[in-house]
C-alpha cells in the first residue's frame, strides 16, 4: 500500500427505509456521506444499481481527497450468516438467500464484511462510542422492533451460525403476545415503538382521553407519548415504565448469564431513556444477583443515526487489521 495515501473505508447501513453510505477515515470520522431511500420494492437489480452508484461516488470522493479505500463494511437488518449470506431479511425480501458479501466484493473488488445492522452498531459503539470503556456489553436498540448485539471481549459474538444476539426475541411473557417470529411473549412485543403504540391504542379504546385531550388516535407515536409522559400524564408514564420493566426482566437474565459490564441502549425509543431507566434498573436489581447487577452500567448509545455506517466501517477495518474472519 502506498504510505502517502491516507486510509479510508466505506460504511453502508441498509435500512428498511433509508440507505446510508459514508466514506470514513481510519479513525471512524465521516469524510463524506450520502443518504437515499432504500426503495427495495423496485427489486434486487435496481437496489444493486443504487448501491453501485453510491459506492462509485464515494470512491471518487476518496480519490479526490487522496484517500485509498481499503474495504467495505455493510450492516443490514435480518439474520446474516458468518459468510455474508442473507438468511432471513424481514424488511428486504429481495435480498433473501443471496450472499451479499460475495456480490459486493465482486462488484467493487474491495474486501467486504456484511453484518447484522445491530451487530454493526454495537461494534461501532465498542470502538468509537459509549462502549469504548467496556470489553463486554449488550447493545439494545429500541426502535420499530427490539434489536440486540453482543460484544464479548471487544468482538461481536455472532454465534456458530451468525445469528446470535437476537435480544428482542427473548421471552418475557410465556403466554404473551404473538411475535412476528412465531414465538409468544417476546420482549419486542413489550418494549419496541410498535409495542408502545399498540398498547397506547388499547388504552385509548377503553379511555379516549387517557393521554390527554389533545392526543388523538391517529397521532399516536412514541414521541407524542413521551411528550405526554414528560408533561406528567400518568398513563403515558406507566406505559414507558412498563416497557422498562420488561426490558429489565430480559436484561436480568443476561446479566446473570454473562456478568457484562454494561448495557447500551440506542434506537428511536432510546430518546425516552429517562422514562424507562428507573423501572429498568429496579427490575434488574430485583431479579439478578447483586454482584453482576451492582456493577452493570446502563448507558445511552453515543453514535445515533450514524451508528450503522460507523460500525460497519469499523468492522471491515477490524477484519483487515486484526485478522478476524
Ligand atoms: Zn419474537
Query: What pLDDT sits at residue 217?
Result: 77
Residue keyed to cell 432504500: 38
Residue whose C-alpha is closest to residue 256's, from 204, 293, 285, 225: 293
Query: Is there a single domain that holds both residue 312 and residue 296?
Result: no
Has residue 249 been placed in a domain?
yes
Query: Is there a single domain that holds both residue 69 and residue 191?
Result: no
For the cut 90, the answer to whether the pLDDT of residue 286 exceeds it is: yes
Phi-psi region at 126: left, alpha or beta (left = phi > 0; alpha = psi -120 to 50) = alpha
Query: Is there a single domain that holds both residue 271 and residue 236?
Result: yes
CA 262 to chain centre: 16
CA of 45 to the centre of ligand 1 (A): 30
CA 179 to chain centre: 19
Query: Is there a single domain that holds both residue 227 and residue 93?
Result: no
Orientation of helix 273-287 relative to helix 222-230, angle to 10°: 80
- Residues 49-88 have pLDDT tens digits of 999 999 999 999 999 999 999 999 999 999 999 999 999 9
Q: How many domains does the chain contain in total?
A: 2
For the cut 60, the answer to whether the pLDDT of residue 229 exceeds it is: yes
Please check whether residue 251 is in contact with residue 284, taking contact to mean a CB–CB distance below 8 angstroms: yes
Query: What pLDDT sits at residue 325?
Result: 45
Query: Is there a single domain that holds both residue 186 and residue 317?
Result: no
Query: Is there a single domain that holds both residue 99 and residue 168?
Result: no
Cβ neighbours, 10 Å, residue 213: 7
CA of 187 to the centre of ligand 1 (A): 7
CA of 247 to the centre of ligand 1 (A): 14
Query: Is there a single domain that holds both residue 150 and residue 47?
Result: no
Has residue 123 been placed in a domain?
no
Has residue 224 been placed in a domain?
yes
- Average pLDDT over the chain reads 95
CA of 181 to the centre of ligand 1 (A): 4
CA of 233 to the centre of ligand 1 (A): 30
Query: Is there a single domain that holds both residue 186 and residue 88?
Result: no
CA of 77 to the centre of ligand 1 (A): 15
The domain in which residue 314 lies consists of 6-117+305-322
**CATH number for the domain harbouring residue 254:** 3.30.420.40
Has residue 137 been placed in a domain?
yes
CA of 116 to the centre of ligand 1 (A): 16
Query: Is there a single domain that holds both residue 89 and residue 137?
Result: no
Phi-psi region at 190: left, alpha or beta (left = phi > 0; alpha = psi -120 to 50) = alpha
Has residue 124 been placed in a domain?
no
User: Which percentage of the chain shows pLDDT scores above 90?
Assistant: 91
CA of 154 to the centre of ligand 1 (A): 27
Residue whose C-alpha is closest to residue 163's, from 179, 145, 150: 150
For the cut 60, the answer to whether the pLDDT of residue 3 exceeds it is: no
Query: Is there a single domain that holds both residue 39 and residue 147?
Result: no
Amino acid at each position: 500500500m502506498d504510505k502517502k495515501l491516507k486510509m479510508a473505508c466505506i460504511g453502508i447501513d441498509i435500512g428498511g427505509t433509508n440507505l446510508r453510505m459514508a466514506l470514513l477515515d481510519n479513525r471512524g470520522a465521516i469524510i463524506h456521506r450520502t443518504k437515499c431511500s432504500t426503495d427495495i420494492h423496485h427489486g434486487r437489480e435496481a437496489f444493486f444499481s443504487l448501491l453501485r452508484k453510491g459506492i462509485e461516488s464515494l470512491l471518487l470522493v476518496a480519490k479526490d481527497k487522496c484517500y485509498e479505500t481499503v474495504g467495505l463494511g455493510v450492516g443490514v437488518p435480518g439474520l446474516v450468516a458468518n459468510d455474508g449470506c442473507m438468511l432471513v431479511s424481514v424488511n428486504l425480501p429481495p435480498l433473501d438467500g443471496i450472499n451479499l458479501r460475495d456480490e459486493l466484493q465482486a462488484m467493487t473488488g474491495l474486501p467486504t464484511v456484511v453484518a447484522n445492522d445491530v451487530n454493526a452498531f454495537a461494534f461501532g459503539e465498542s470502538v468509537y462510542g459509549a462502549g469504548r470503556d467496556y470489553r463486554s456489553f449488550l447493545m439494545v436498540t429500541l426502535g420499530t422492533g427490539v434489536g440486540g448485539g453482543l460484544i464479548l471481549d471487544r468482538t461481536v459474538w455472532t454465534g456458530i451460525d451468525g445469528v446470535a444476539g437476537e435480544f428482542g426475541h427473548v421471552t418475557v411473557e410465556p403466554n404473551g403476545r404473538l411475535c412476528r417470529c412465531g414465538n409468544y411473549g417476546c420482549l419486542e412485543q413489550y418494549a419496541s415503538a410498535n409495542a408502545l403504540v399498540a398498547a397506547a391504542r388499547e388504552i385509548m379504546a377503553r379511555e379516549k382521553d387517557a393521554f390527554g385531550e389533545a392526543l388523538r388516535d391517529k397521532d399516536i407515536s412514541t414521541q407524542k407519548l413521551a411528550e405526554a409522559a414528560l408533561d406528567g400524564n400518568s398513563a403515558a408514564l406507566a406505559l414507558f415504565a412498563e416497557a422498562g420493566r420488561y426490558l429489565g426482566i430480559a436484561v436480568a437474565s443476561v446479566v446473570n448469564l454473562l456478568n457484562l459490564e454494561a448495557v447500551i441502549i440506542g434506537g428511536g425509543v432510546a430518546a425516552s431513556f429517562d422514562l424507562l431507566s428507573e423501572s429498568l434498573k429496579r427490575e434488574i436489581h430485583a431479579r439478578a444477583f447483586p454482584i453482576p447487577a451492582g456493577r452493570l452500567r446502563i448507558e445511552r448509545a453515543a453514535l445515533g443515526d450514524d451508528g450503522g455506517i460507523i460500525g460497519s466501517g469499523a468492522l471491515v477495518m477490524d477484519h483487515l487489521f486484526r485478522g478476524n474472519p
